[in-house]
């Protein structure tokens, strides 16, 4: 008779298989068991045929990966502990010393910081291109160019690039294109099939997505994904992912699985409220420009129409305004502090509306003519009633005057 603790640890009861319920189970593991040494030696970790170690996947993470592939129209997916980590993983998987990466000037700031920091330290150079000018991208391509990032809409100023044009430039030269697909989220456009009617299969090679935003939807989970449609490319990402020891917690994966079914409805609701507020903002004299791709005079609106103007839910929940330069930084800060429903905080995609004032000149190589001069304030619209959000902005504007 073994000791009680040993018996507890090796208890023979196994619950019957076949449990079926709406939500997939949460499988947590570092260790995964094998029946024999032979099984241990022969177990394949690179695909979803079996299990080898928690970092290489569990039923919970496999289920999330497959659903994200369905969302974005990809074939393979790896999960990373944050959106930024997914972005960095792409570069680490495909670049080596001597290579160059091209980034749009309005890319997610920390992506640029990674290029200026780690990539530069590793002998990988970068150049910044104008996201609204495919010729500018083309002119910067050299034999060293091995990766081009695109982001639609770009961060903070929400200029919508000529995504099709940019992808075409890269395809013509055999250069890999990676998209930061956090804004589109797989709902505004199909990253691997941008214009299916005209050019089936024309799309990016890699989609990186901050699941922290709409897939989580709660402001409480950090996670990222890297999705591909090519096995060889996926294996490069997968090997870098394995060697870096990246993985996600099962409870976090379960949170995202739980939120995914409502994502499209939430995205549409964010979208509709944001469009209504954007239109209202255009009538406020303090705002010299309203940046939102569905507004006809917002930079890149025509590009947005080509890809996303195909029904409800094509414009996400972000909106930026340029505040008239006659208001100084203290006044702009007072406006942001004066908001009551909008909370000050980074990130987006959750139920609570957020606001952040940005120092755009400090973030960009060039301030393009298409963006008015002034302080940029970005709103991330949550799921509150749009009338309440509008009243909140109106009262905070009064405080600024
Ligand atoms: C938030 C965000 C990321 C990074 O996601 P984290 O999970 O916060 O690291 C990357 N790209 C874009 C466009 C984002 O908005």
pLDDT in tens, 16-72: 999 999 999 999 999 999 999 999 999 889 999 999 999 999 999 999 999 999 999
CB proximity list for 339: less than 8 A, separation 6 or greater: 355, 392, 393, 396
Q: For the segment 203-221, what is each residue's pLDDT rounded down to a tens digit?
A: 999 999 999 999 999 999 9
C-alpha to C-alpha distance for 308 and 86, rounded to whole angstroms: 24
Mean pLDDT throughout 342-350?
Answer: 97
Pocket test for ligand 1, best of 80, 179, 210 (most atoms within 8 A of CB): 210
**What is the pLDDT, as a whole number, of residue 310?**
75
Give the residue whose CA is nearest to atom 2 of ligand 1.
210
Mean pLDDT throughout 107-113?
Answer: 97
Distance, first Cα to last Cα, the chain: 81
Chain-wide mean pLDDT for the chain?
A: 96
| Phi, psi dihedrals of residue 184, rounded to the nearest 5° | -75, -30
Q: Which two tokens stand for residue 298?
A: 């917002």
Query: Is residue 366 very low, low, confident or very high in pLDDT (cuts 50, 70, 90)?
Result: confident
Short-list 199, 350, 325, CA closest to 270: 350
Mean pLDDT throughout 331-353?
Answer: 97
Q: How far is CA 1 from CA 6, 12, 209, 317, 376, in A?
A: 10, 14, 53, 63, 72
Beta strand 354-358 with 343-344 is: parallel
Give the residue whose CA is nearest to atom 5 of ligand 1.
83
Q: What is the DSSP string of 132-175?
A: T-HHHHHHH--TTEEEEEEESSPTTT-PPP-HHHHHHHHHHTT-
Ligand 1 centroid, distance to 210 Cα (angstroms): 5
% the chain with pLDDT above 70: 99
Ligand 1 centroid, distance to 182 Cα (angstroms): 7
C-alpha to C-alpha distance for 194 and 321, rounded to whole angstroms: 28
**What is the pLDDT, as a whole number, of residue 1?**
65
Beta strand 125-129 with 176-180 is: unpaired
**What is the pLDDT, as a whole number, of residue 358?**
93
CB proximity list for 139: less than 8 A, separation 6 or greater: none
Which residues have CB under 6 Å of ligand 1? 82-84, 87, 108, 155, 180, 182, 210, 212-213, 222, 224, 347
Q: Which two tokens stand for residue 180?
A: 């930061």
SS3 for 326?
coil
Short-list 191, 18, 11, 167, CA closest to 104: 167
Would residue 158 be called left, alpha or beta, if left means φ above 0 and alpha means ψ between -120 and 50 degrees? Answer: left
- What does pTM read for this prediction? 0.97
The minimum-distance atom of ligand 1 relative to the CA of 211 is 7
Short-list 359, 369, 376, 323, CA closest to 109: 359
List of domains in the chain: 37-261 (3.40.640.10), 263-400 (3.90.1150.10)
């Amino acid at each position: 008779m073994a000791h009680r603790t040993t018996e507890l640890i090796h208890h023979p009861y196994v619950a019957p298989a076949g449990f079926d319920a709406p939500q997939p189970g949460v499988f947590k593991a570092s260790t995964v068991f094998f029946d024999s040494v032979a099984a241990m030696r022969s177990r394949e970790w690179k695909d979803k045929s079996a299990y080898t170690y928690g970092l290489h996947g569990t039923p919970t993470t496999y289920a999330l990966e497959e659903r994200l592939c369905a969302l974005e129209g990809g074939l393979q997916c790896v999960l990373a502990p944050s959106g930024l980590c997914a972005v960095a993983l792409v570069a680490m998987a495909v670049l080596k010393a001597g290579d160059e990466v091209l980034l749009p000037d309005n890319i997610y700031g920390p992506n640029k910081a990674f290029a200026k920091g780690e990539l530069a330290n590793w002998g990988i150079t970068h150049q910044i291109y104008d996201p609204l000018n495919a010729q500018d991208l083309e002119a910067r391509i050299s034999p060293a160019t091995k990766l081009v990032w695109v982001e639609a809409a770009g961060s903070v100023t929400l200029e919508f690039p000529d995504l099709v044009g940019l992808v075409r430039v890269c395809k013509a030269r055999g250069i890999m294109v990676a998209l930061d697909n956090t804004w589109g989220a797989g709902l505004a456009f199909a990253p691997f099939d941008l214009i299916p009617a005209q050019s089936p299969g024309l799309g990016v090679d890699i989609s990186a997505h901050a699941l922290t935003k709409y897939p989580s939807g709660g402001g409480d989970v950090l996670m990222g994904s890297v999705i591909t449609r090519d096995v060889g490319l996926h294996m490069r990402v997968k090997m870098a992912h394995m060697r870096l020891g990246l993985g996600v917690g099962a409870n976090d994966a379960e949170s995202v699985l739980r939120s995914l079914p409502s994502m499209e409805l939430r995205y549409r609701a964010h979208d509709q409220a944001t469009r209504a507020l954007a239109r209202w903002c255009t009538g406020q004299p303090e705002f010299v420009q309203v940046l939102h791709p569905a507004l006809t005079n917002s930079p890149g609106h025509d590009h947005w129409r080509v890809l996303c103007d195909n029904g409800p839910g094509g414009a996400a929940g972000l909106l930026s305004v340029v505040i008239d330069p006659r208001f100084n930084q203290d006044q702009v800060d007072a406006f942001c502090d004066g908001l009551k429903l909008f909370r000050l905080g980074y990130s987006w995609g959750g139920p609570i509306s957020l606001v952040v004032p940005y120092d755009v000149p400090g973030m960009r190589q060039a301030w393009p003519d298409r963006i008015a001069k002034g302080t940029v304030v970005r709103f991330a619209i949550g799921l509150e009633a749009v009338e309440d959000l509008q009243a909140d902005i109106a009262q905070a504007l009064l405080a600024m005057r």
